[in-house]
Amino acid sequence: MLMADKVLRWERAWFPPAIMGVVSLVFLIIYYLDPSVLSGVSCFVMFLCLADYLVPILAPRIFGSNKWTTEQQQRFHEICSNLVKTRRRAVGWWKRLFTLKEEKPKMYFMTMIVSLAAVAWVGQQVHNLLLTYLIVTSLLLLPGLNQHGIISKYIGMAKREINKLLKQKEKKNE
């Protein structure tokens, strides 16, 4: 888990290209083999079973059998805390959605219809495998983007531009 965290947070410069390469290779194999849904799910579960069997055997040989340090314990605790925070955020968004449904049903209805129509349109325009590839790649790169401040940088830029547009609109209205 600690090694996966290091890779996802891009502790080395070559981790982002490695993530992209592995994800691209997996999706190219899926594209080339073009399995049915049942075959794909079966192969995925087979891979999980193989990993469940081999990881306990190979991990000590690959990573060494060093002692668990307090630094590693602290990092493991931080990872678990972040996972719990992420889960709480997701549950919070889910609760806000249902609060909106109860307090402003028309706003909820319009938001859901427009959002789902947009998602359906994107799903119709973009191939399923490409869409899945983009989603998986984005999710795997998200921790590193967040760790290196790239997301906050571009969100800040977007907020400044939106504020400029709103100020220009206010000046025109005056």
Residue-wise pLDDT tens for the chain (174 aa)?
778 888 888 888 899 999 999 999 999 999 999 889 899 899 999 999 999 999 888 877 777 666 778 888 898 899 899 899 999 999 999 999 999 999 999 999 999 999 999 999 998 999 989 999 999 999 999 989 988 888 899 999 999 999 888 888 888 776
The answer to whether residue 142 sits within a structural domain is yes
The answer to whether residue 133 sits within a structural domain is yes
Q: Are 146 and 10 in contact (CB under 8 A)?
A: no
pTM, whole model, 2 decimals? 0.72
The answer to whether residue 29 sits within a structural domain is no
Domain span holding position 136: 127-173
The answer to whether residue 42 sits within a structural domain is no
DSSP for residue 11: S
Looking at the structure, tell me whether residues 79 and 117 fall in a common domain. Answer: yes
- Among the three residues 83, 109, 124, which one is the final residue of a domain in this structure? 124
Looking at the structure, tell me whether residues 136 and 118 fall in a common domain. Answer: no
